[in-house]
Amino acid sequence: MIHVETHFQALLQQEDTDGDKRITIHDKGPKTYDLDGQTIKGTYALSNLLQELALAKEAQQTHLQIDPQALYEPPTQRISKAIKNRCWDGLTRKIDHPGMLTDPKMPSEPRLYIPENDQLAQHYYKNFPAQIIQLPQIITPEYVQSLNDKPGLLSLAIEEDGPLPYVVPGGRFNEMYGWDSYFIALGLLHDEKIELAKAMLNHQVYQIRFYGKVLNANRSYYLTRSQPPFLTRFLKAILKYSRQPKAWIEEVLRTAMHEYAHVWTREPRLTRTGLSRYYGEGLGQPPETEPGHYDSIANPTQEYFTHDRTVRESGHDTSYRLEDRAAHLCTVDLNSLLYAYEVDLAELLDQYGEIPGYPNSEVWRARARQRRQLLTQYCWDPAEGQFFDYDFVKQERTGYESATGLWPLWAGLATPQQAELAVQHATLEKGGLAAGSLKSRGPLNDQRPPRQWDYPYGWAPHQMMAWEGLQNCGLDPSGWAERWLRMMTKNAVDFNGVIPEKYDVVAASHEVFAEYGNVGADFDYITKEGFGWSNASYQIGLTYLSAAQRQGLDQLAVG
């Protein structure tokens, strides 16, 4: 039994030599501490002690009973437990108090926008202590632009007893993001938080019903912008973990078919090739961007901002793969996702029955065959052995090497030969799969600054989709997963348990100095949230490892 405040202050004074309220390998303390007669050694154990003391302080405990040996707990076990028992809770939100309306990107008075025909929301928020604004039934780009100086949160799904919860990507956010939510849900389902994952899918169904699409996020300035579509895979993931009522399954299927028809396979997102593109429909500069973001662009035009908004709809904001041409590209990633919709809908309709008034499973299978043929025709480069985005304006493949070139393996549309060649060309680094290659990114300078979705950076969704893609093709993903988890574990061991948004996979480091910082890397004493899809990638990644590989990761804390 130890006195919390005494040891908290003494430990910080001795070991936190750089004053950042953490104990890391950058600190120059002796790295050995006397805990009432027990000697605690090493950055990992000392940072774990700091974390336990911080939690006790937060719980207003004066004393803490602690087993010193627990401070040397195998790191894979400790990190995984922290994600399951603490981080998901730290990222969970519900629109049930005005503090939820704050937005660090665009500070303003508390403001909530509600769809015109959502009676439940209008009743629930009738006496809410914030400015409540009813949206028009038809939402145009001009209307959304008129809200730039009146930004606000958009309501999400409500049941009779109040708003449903959801998980945000990182601690600075209060809004729910589009494709982040699918990967977050994979982690939630793994950690037996099935109802929370289902609530997030319900929010996406709500967004399609009331806002016309799964939004980039539920903020007013995102109303014209979607994100990579994962609705059918989201449903299948939930069904893998739990039985669900047939009526609910049918509602999600109808919604997915509506989204497919009204968002992704009609103008402006359908192109003359028969493949689809991302397309950000807003007007002018995206208001949520950081000051100075466009300083390197000379006289940006509306066409430039259309491309820029399209980059953000793709989820890969930002990257030189897409810079100033995103709206001209039939991307491999989007069309792989739409192929997944087509095969998933065929499978689910076979399993749960056709839905009157909607295409049957044979129609979906025929659409999948057509998309596979088109994607191969336009995006597969047999000479290079890779899938590339297709520029339908220039009528040529871009040749830009990207981790998204592996998405056809995840979707199940690549042939065994294509898969083998694509894997050989992947930019696999010490810390895992890079977002793209150095050759494709090209040189950087003051007029061409680093972009966070390019080399040398790596991201959790690319890893998770690559692992699944390898497995789909009969290849072993454990080596790729081990690289990513080794980097994550080593950084957590050396840096007070950090689980951030992105990594430099070449240096195998979270100390990233690209645009937008690194959400999840800045905290005091203990990380309460990590970062959503990074958390999920750790939990899912562990399932790919052998016992020997996991034991190897646990050795990172020794010494």
CA-closest candidate to residue 45, choices 530, 493, 554: 493
CA–CA distance, 303 with 309 (Å, rounded to integer): 10
CA-closest candidate to residue 522, choices 62, 20, 185: 20
Mean pLDDT over 92-96 rounds to 97
Higher pLDDT, 88 or 160: 88
> Looking at residue 38, what is its pLDDT?
94
Q: Which amino acid is located at 551 in the chain? A: Q
Query: Tens of pLDDT along 194-223?
Result: 999 999 999 999 999 999 999 999 999 999
Q: Which amino acid is located at 247 in the chain? A: A
CA-closest candidate to residue 277, choices 262, 287, 289, 267: 267
Given a cut of 80, whether residue 553 has pLDDT beyond it is yes
Confidence of residue 559 (pLDDT cuts 50, 70, 90): low
> Looking at residue 288, what is its pLDDT?
87
Domain residue spans of the chain: 2-72, 81-94+427-559, 96-163+175-242, 265-413
User: In this structure, how many other beta carbons lie within 10 angstroms of the beta carbon of residue 498?
Assistant: 24
Given a cut of 90, whether residue 538 has pLDDT beyond it is yes
Mean pLDDT over 407-428 rounds to 98
Within 13 Å, how many C-alpha atoms sit on residue 106's CB side? 19
- SS3 call for 495: strand
CA-closest candidate to residue 54, choices 8, 2, 6: 8
**Cβ proximity of 284 and 301 under 8 Å:** no
Residue 250 burial by Cβ neighbours in a 10 Å radius (0-12, 13-18, 19+)? middle
Query: Tens of pLDDT along 498-532?
Result: 999 999 999 999 999 887 788 999 999 999 999 99
Mean pLDDT over 352-376 rounds to 98
Given a cut of 80, whether residue 291 has pLDDT beyond it is no
> Looking at residue 452, what is its pLDDT?
96
CA–CA distance, 478 with 471 (Å, rounded to integer): 9
Mean pLDDT over 81-94 rounds to 98
CA angle 194, 198, 204 (to 5 degrees): 155
The pTM score is 0.97
CA–CA distance, 369 with 363 (Å, rounded to integer): 10
Given a cut of 80, whether residue 403 has pLDDT beyond it is yes
> Looking at residue 299, what is its pLDDT?
75
Strands 386-387 and 380-381: antiparallel
Average pLDDT, the chain: 96
Higher pLDDT, 296 or 171: 171
Given a cut of 70, whether residue 342 has pLDDT beyond it is yes
- Active-site positions? 317, 501
Query: Tens of pLDDT along 140-198?
Result: 999 999 999 999 999 999 998 899 999 999 998 999 999 999 999 999 999 999 999 99
Query: Tens of pLDDT along 227-247?
Result: 999 999 999 999 999 999 999
CA–CA distance, 128 with 532 (Å, rounded to integer): 29
CA angle 276, 265, 116 (to 5 degrees): 125
**Cβ proximity of 196 and 241 under 8 Å:** no
Tell me the CA end-to-end span of the chain in Å, nearest whole number. 26
